[in-house]
């Protein structure tokens, strides 16, 4: 397959007239065209292409049997959503009563958590992952703790809820990193789980590990691990998860709220980051999710790790603005997530990383467009265990997202400014691992709006 991009965002910048060759799920050639003859050579050099040199630009754009698909707009690498709770999508627009307090949000979250079973979770997740695909996301890190039946009893297949997510991602065309999450207690001081929380728990870390070990292999799946937070995992159990996850992605919610830090200091005399580091969790494949309220020592400990910012959720919950630039300067690799899915729009998440810094510092110019793109693409994929994704270069996975440059939002912009101008609605085409999953702004297999409407309506 050959794709002629009007513009393509390559590792060293945005360029016009780029031809990409795809075989199976890989980019096998990236050619910057200088003139019409270059396109003819690109087509002619493709083994067994069976096509002749194109006769005109119109032929190329119209796909008139010349073997080249033309993509108007800017084509860039697929986004990596490094932090997702799929079931939270059912809360969108429903948690703002009582002026949208945290408790309003939490009670709604627990209500949804109690209502789901493997079948309904599959239907909801397929719609959520379909919405991600429409916005150009090709890999998702699912921070998964909704494990068992509503009263905590395991299903006949103890991984039935995990299997629902894995199948939903496959049907929506995404790769999934299942960050299977240990969740054992309700508070830092060890208060037991109760009510809707019961289905989160495995009893202890060894039983959690036995369950996760039974998950199957699949080409679109990486199995990683997560420590939900310092309030949900007793300290001795953290070491078991860290040891199990050696060499795999390991994530944890870290210092999302000031109250979390205060409770951890009162109980353990250390910050959440220090506790996680003490039990072997903080290393080069570790991701601190949110990382909002950190000390200078915390940031030093995270210098070889990842930090995943989720700006639209952090602002929705009123959690605060994390020290993204300071972390990046210390060596921490930044990624992005849509977390609770108050919004699924990685253009918004990307620019929010910069715009939130501007609000916090009252200054502009903290991140370059290339840095924001890396957080949303290559770095995010690597943090999820897909290091060969997120770049348009030979050998990379063929994850391609084309963004319209003629919408009311993007008309007249410099293509390199797309992260500051576009929205998810401007995505026209998406390939994930070489498979077309979005065409002309519509998912090719999932009726996303209908499926979300039906799946969410069943929960209320």
Query: CA of 451: how far to CAs of 92, 143, 154, 340, in Å?
Result: 15, 22, 27, 18
Check if the beta carbon of residue 1 is closer than 8 Å to that of residue 21: yes
Alpha carbon 180 to chain centroid, angstroms = 15
- Look at strands 68-77 and 26-32 and give their pairing: unpaired
Residues facing 439 on adjacent strands: 442
Distance CA 375, CA 340 (A): 19
Query: CA of 115: how far to CAs of 15, 77, 292, 455, in Å?
Result: 49, 36, 31, 11
Distance CA 302, CA 307 (A): 8
Residues facing 192 on adjacent strands: 185
Q: Which of 375, 395, 429 is nearest to 74 (CA)?
A: 429
Residues 6+ apart with CB under 8 A from 27: 20, 21, 392, 393, 394, 395, 396, 397, 398
Q: Which of 316, 369, 321 is nearest to 340 (CA)?
A: 316
Check if the beta carbon of residue 133 is closer than 8 Å to that of residue 424: no
Give the residue numbers marked as catalytic: 290, 339
Residues 6+ apart with CB under 8 A from 43: 2, 49, 51, 52, 53, 54, 66, 67, 68
Distance CA 8, CA 4 (A): 9
Distance CA 190, CA 340 (A): 25
Distance CA 286, CA 280 (A): 10
Distance CA 387, CA 395 (A): 11
Q: Long-range contacts made by residues 359-363, C-beta under 8 angstroms, separation at least 24? A: 359/321, 360/321
Given its phi and psi angles, is residue 318 left (phi above 0), alpha (psi -120 to 50 degrees) or beta? left
């Amino acid at each position: 397959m050959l794709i002629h991009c009007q513009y393509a965002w390559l590792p060293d910048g945005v360029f016009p007239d780029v031809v990409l060759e795809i075989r199976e799920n890989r980019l096998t050639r990236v050619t910057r065209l200088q003139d019409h003859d270059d396109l003819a050579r690109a087509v002619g050099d493709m083994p067994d292409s069976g096509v002749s040199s194109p006769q005109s630009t119109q032929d190329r754009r119209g796909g008139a049997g010349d073997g080249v698909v033309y993509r108007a707009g800017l084509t860039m690498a697929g986004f990596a959503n490094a932090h997702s709770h799929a079931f939270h999508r059912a809360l969108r627009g429903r948690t703002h009563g009582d002026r949208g307090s945290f408790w309003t949000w939490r009670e709604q979250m627990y209500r949804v958590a109690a209502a789901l079973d493997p079948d309904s979770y599959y239907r909801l997740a397929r719609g959520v992952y379909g919405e991600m695909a429409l916005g150009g996301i090709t890999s998702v890190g699912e921070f998964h703790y909704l494990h068992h039946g509503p009263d905590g009893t395991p299903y006949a297949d103890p991984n039935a809820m995990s299997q629902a997510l894995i199948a939903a991602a496959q049907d929506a065309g995404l790769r999934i990193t299942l960050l299977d999450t240990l969740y054992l207690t309700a508070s830092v001081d060890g208060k037991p789980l109760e009510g809707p929380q019961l289905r989160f728990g495995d009893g202890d870390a060894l039983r959690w590990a036995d369950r996760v070990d039974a998950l199957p292999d699949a080409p679109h799946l990486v199995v990683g691990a997560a420590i939900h937070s310092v309030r949900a995992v007793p300290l001795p159990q953290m070491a078991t998860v860290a040891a199990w996850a050696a060499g795999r992605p390991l994530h944890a919610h870290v210092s999302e709220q000031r109250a979390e830090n205060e409770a951890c200091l009162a109980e353990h005399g250390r910050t959440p980051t220090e506790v996680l580091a003490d039990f072997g969790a903080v290393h080069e494949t570790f991701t601190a999710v949110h990382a909002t309220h950190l000390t200078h020592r915390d940031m030093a400990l995270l210098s070889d790790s990842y930090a995943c910012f989720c700006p639209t959720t952090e602002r929705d919950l009123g959690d605060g603005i994390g020290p993204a630039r300071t972390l990046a300067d210390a060596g921490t690799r930044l990624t992005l997530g849509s977390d609770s899915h108050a919004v699924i729009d990685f253009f918004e998440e990307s620019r929010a990383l910069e715009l939130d810094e501007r609000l916090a510092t009252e200054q502009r110019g903290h991140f370059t467009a290339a840095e924001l793109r890396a957080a949303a693409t290559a770095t995010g994929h690597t943090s999820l265990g897909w290091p060969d994704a997120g770049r348009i270069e030979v050998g990379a996975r063929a994850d391609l997202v084309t963004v319209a440059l003629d919408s009311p939002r993007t008309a007249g912009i410099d293509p390199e400014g797309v992260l500051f101008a576009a929205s998810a609605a401007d995505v026209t085409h998406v390939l994930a691992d070489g498979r077309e999953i979005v065409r002309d702004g519509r998912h090719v297999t999932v009726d996303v709006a209908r499926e979300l409407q039906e799946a969410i309506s069943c929960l209320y």
